Amino acid sequence: MTDLLLVLLAGIGAGMLNAVVGAGTLATYPTLLALGLPPLAANVTSAVGIFPGSLVGAWTYREVLRSSGARTTLVLATVSMLVGALIGIPLLLALPPEYFNAVVPWLIVVAGGLAIAQPWLTGNAQIHGNFEGSHRRLVLVLGVTVAGVYLSYFGAATGVITLFILLYVGIHDLQIANAIKNLITGIVNAVIAIVFLIAAPVDVLFAVVIAMGSALGGYLGGKIAQKLSLVVFRVVIGVVALSAAIVATTT
């Protein structure tokens, strides 16, 4: 019973993290390792359990999504992330983790730093003007595809990476970018969960408990995220990115 309570609390934390910025795996993966699951089982069990948090978080942003005018971005990003995830799944199941984990911490740190510094790096509309039409779509598709590979392979801070890509290609509003990030990662995580349930060593009981917690956490996190100032939001992104990099280095 104590183990299930810990897993439930980790699920709530994961749901809140995913709805606010991403990196819900930071709450669930170490918890499952501490409870005795092997790394692969902990990773896939976490992935199966956390997807409701992102979907519920996206639901709390439903008015933002309706008014964002970003339907094309949503479709392109969802398809691209799904393609990337379908590439990452066999990598996770077939390759030793050292092949990918060597670059994961640096990828997270760079993405977090870029997301925080985005207003200065992009120079607002001056540089955004260079990413119109096909160039903007190409950067979006390639970037989110890479994020999808990472999402299915390990996942921590995929939200940070996705947020930066969305901001870089011209989604000027951080709240709109977060709403899109929640929806596309939730959809793709749901597909990943189905595949893992069929082909990977998922602890189903722990996954169900995490799912219950992440749904509640996603609701709370989505409400909280929409009340954050942009400065606080970017600080949260940076802290999450740094924490994810530390966890990726030590696990």
Q: Please, are residues 144 and 184 in contact by the beta-carbon 8 Å criterion?
A: yes
For the chain (251 residues), the mean pLDDT of every run of 10, in chain order, is 88 87 79 86 89 90 82 90 92 73 65 59 44 75 91 78 83 84 91 91 94 94 81 70 64 58
* pTM for the predicted model, two decimal places: 0.80
Q: Alpha-carbon distance 65 to 59, whole Å? A: 9
Give the torsion sign (CA, 226, 227, 233, 236). Answer: negative
Its domain, for residue 55, covers 2-250
- Give the C-alpha distances (Å, rounded to integers) separating 70 from 57, 65, 120: 18, 8, 23
Number of domains in the chain: 1
| pLDDT computed for residue 116 by the predictor | 62
